[in-house]
A = this chain, B = another copy of it.
Amino acid sequence: MKLVHDPIHGHIELDDFALRLVDTPEFQRLRRITQLGLAFLAYPSAKHTRFEHSLGTFYLAKRIAGYNPGIEEGAVYAALLHDLGHYPFSHTLEVLYQRHEENTKWFIKHGEIGDVIRERYSLGEFLRLLKHPLVSGDIDADRMDYLVRDAYYTGAAYGLVDLDRLVRNLHYDGERLIIGEKGVMAAQSLLLARSMMYPTVYQHHVSKIASSMLVKAVELEGIPLEEIRLMDEVDLIARLRRSENGEVRELIAAIDDRRLYKRVLYSGDDPGEKVIFELKNELEGEFGHLATVDYPPKPKFEEKNAFVAVGDGLKRLSDVSPLVRSLVELKDTHWRWGVYAREDVMERIERFLRTFLG
């Protein structure tokens, strides 16, 4: 057994099997994948990585399983590996490639880590566990860890959650994690924390702009999935810096030096995917790398997974907590799409948009 020091959970115990999973190149690669991508350009201290988040998720999953003998042991190791497939800068590049969950499966099938897993589990069994409610609900070990951790590293004052109370009040019914009545306030505060972190940290405009520049650079560089999913952030940045395409080199230099594009358009009105698709094409044709379009997915609120035990029955959390209900209703409030451009071409692009959008 090994102890890993962690500012969020104190000491995280790794048993021998967990340690062998951690000691694979695939897992160690997560040390070089920042948890919040380019958010450090807005919150300088947010340089924490998927590595410690994965350990933290494992820790919480193990504690929850400790109160729920019905949770199979493998689910806890699956929680450890749930983020294995992230691209450099985490979610940033998912807009260009398949979702990271697919890469997680790919690494498990083809990586050294698969050999370790197979000593105990069949691959099919383990892949199924990656969707276990421990890491795939609205109230799960994954989210419990990242909200508190992201708040700690950014210094945002929104991530205080009574994790201990929540851990003690999650009951596995063979299918879902049910929130016990005494855990409702803690669960509610977790969802509130998320709703505060979304606009202030996860969708901070500085991070969105820089991310759209990185996406553009990777797009122009044309890196195939087979390559990028093996990369860490060193590989990717080094590749972009050495690109034969001057536009790519300019973009990565601008990110490095924090000379970020400005907002030409920033709006909560969704023009629809079709318009965005056309806009991207036309902007690309007209301005190349000088303008970017940022059209993020709407925030999900997977309340289907959040049930509360009330007396003998179950209720949805949103039925028990009017505050959560209003969070569900308000989930799109802070969503924004944007068009960003290099400062010297802002006016031209503004004119272009006026024509294009009418």
Contact = CB atoms under 8 A, between A and B. Distances in A.
A44 interface: yes
Interface string A277-317: 00000000000000000000000000000000000000000
Interface string A40-54: 101111011101100
A319 interface: no
Contacts of A325: 326
A270 interface: no
Contacts of A267: none
Q: Number of copies of this chain in the oligomer?
A: 4
Given A157-B189, A160-B160, A195 B323 contact: yes
Interface in A45-104: 45, 47-49, 51-52, 55
A155 B238 CA distance: 31
B45 A164 contact: no
B323 A165 contact: no
A89 to B, nearest CB: 13
Given A44-B52, A45-B7, A256-B25, A189 B185 contact: no
A238 B241 CA distance: 11
Given A45-B48, A234-B237, A161 B165 contact: no
Contacts of A258: 23, 28
B44 A6 contact: yes
A263 interface: no
A327 B186 CA distance: 17
17 contacts: A5-B44, A5-B155, A5-B156, A6-B45, A11-B165, A23-B258, A28-B258, A45-B52, A47-B47, A159-B160, A160-B160, A185-B196, A195-B323, A234-B234, A322-B330, A323-B330, A326-B329
Given A158-B189, A189-B196, A233-B234, 10 more contacts: A4-B44, A5-B155, A7-B155, A23-B258, A44-B55, A47-B49, A157-B165, A160-B160, A322-B329, A326-B330
